[in-house]
Structure 1
Amino acid sequence: MTRHLLIIGAAFAALSLAACGDKTETKGAATPSEQAATPDANPAATVPTVADETKADVFAMKAADLNMFEIESAKLAAARSTNAQVKTFAGKMATAHGKTGEGLQAAIAASGAAIILPMTLSKDLQDDLDDLSKASNEDFDKKYADSQVDAHQAMLNLLQRYAQDGDTPAIKAFAAATAPTVQEHLNTAEGLKKGFVN
């Protein structure tokens, strides 16, 4: 048995060494069709990364987007929900996130940064809002609670990251001051979500 294991181990070692061998291959320049078929070598250059979220403009745009989603989904829940807890939570979210939006605008003004916040939702969050609006009456409250957990977690992560590593002091102060409130909202949303688990 031990001998079999040693033989198998030696075989794996040999295969591993062969796989690590230099496979340098010289090739001519890519044809136009090959270039079109090959994805961009650096696609992340056009899509903001997590590291970009420490830049004031990227942070502000994402925070405003998530904040708008909270307000719009709260309005939808106030109109659609038949659950008293959900309606109460939605009312609090509309008010609280209205204040968060004002706080973000004030922080941007105090920083002197030339950032113009979006007036409409990003495609992803608009799609999420559209999905929520299409939910059946039976599923709406659960889907709303799920969306609130996801959105508040995303917002909390964004705020905490910027509060720690952000590049603009006035906006960092806003992020640090807002994170505890968003944590409270997240905790409440998680409680709501648990109430709808089958």
Structure 2
Amino acid sequence: MLMRPFMRAAAGLLLCGLAFAACAQSGRDKTPLGANAADSKFMTSAASDGMAEVAMGQLALEKSSQASVKQLAQRIVDDHTMANDKLRALAQAKQVALPAAPGDEAQQSASAMKALDAKKFDKAWAATMVKDHQKAVALFTAEAGRTQDPEVRAFAQATLPTLKTHLELARQLQDQLDMPAARDDAMSHRAAMDASFDHTRPAGATTAATPAAAGSTSTGSH
């Protein structure tokens, strides 16, 4: 009779132990992504860079007078704002803390460009967009091929086409902005060559007579 309470207690302890082990295993299976250093670093870098792109786009909308610059800037603001919202929701679900603002380097770059005049700003902004999106394409491509998390991979793969489009448009804008400068350089070089030729021509020199003119002169002398 005394054994029954003891056996019930032992059985209860065994069940509690099994339940605890099951909960612990379940917890290990659902370890938050924050424990994955590589994926966490990707999301924090992508968030910081994404906010920097939005800030740079807004700066171009305020400072530039070029329609082509403003058009690309607005697209970058819209697309990166959408991507940032998706990343924020993903990070919250994975328990990863994201930065609240762009990194120091991006903020310093934006401050430096605010001091430029309009013409210099447009070229500097286009060059920065090329550099930033080259970095972003490399970052997202690497993450899409490396991560084992299907949701993080899906986000990286879905965002890549937009980043590649931004990169191509930024390169086209950079070429477009460089064309007037290249044309002006070519005209200046030609003017310099003409001036050099005129300077080396002997004073009072005239164009040599053509054979027909020479013949006409010879005939007239007879």
- Structures share a fold, TM > 0.5? yes
Q: Distance in 2 between matches of 1:54 and 1:174?
A: 17
In structure 2, the residue matched to 1:121 is 102
1:155 correspondence with 2:136: yes
Match of residue 189, structure 1, among 162, 170, 192: 170
1:100 has 2:83 as partner: yes
Q: Deviations over 1:148-197 (max 9, x none)?
A: 10111111111000000024221111001100111011000000011122
Task: Kindly name which structure, 1 or 2, has the bigger radius of gyration based on alpha carbons.
Answer: 2
Does the CA contact (< 8 Å) of 1:54 and 1:161 recur in 2?
Answer: no
Which residue matches 2:59?
A: 76
Alignment of 1:22-33 (within 5 A): none
RMSD over equivalenced CA pairs, Å: 1.6
Structure 1 Cα separation of the partners of residues 122 and 42 of structure 2: 30
Gaps of 5+ in 1: 1-52
**CA 1:126–1:167 in 2, change beyond 3 Å: closer, same or farther?**
farther
Aligned positions, number: 144
Q: Percent of aligned pairs with the same residue?
A: 27
- CA shift, 1:55, in A, is 1.1
Q: Would the aligned equivalents of 1:75 and 1:94 in 2 still touch at CA under 8 Å?
A: yes
User: Matched residues in 2 for 1:135 and 1:172: separation?
Assistant: 39
TM-score (norm 1): 0.69
Distance 2:108 2:149 in 1: 31
- CA shift digits 1:68-103 (9 cap, x unpaired): 111001110000000001011111111111001012
Bigger share in helix: 2
CA shift for structure 1 position 108: 2.4
Residue of structure 2 equivalent to 1:172: 153
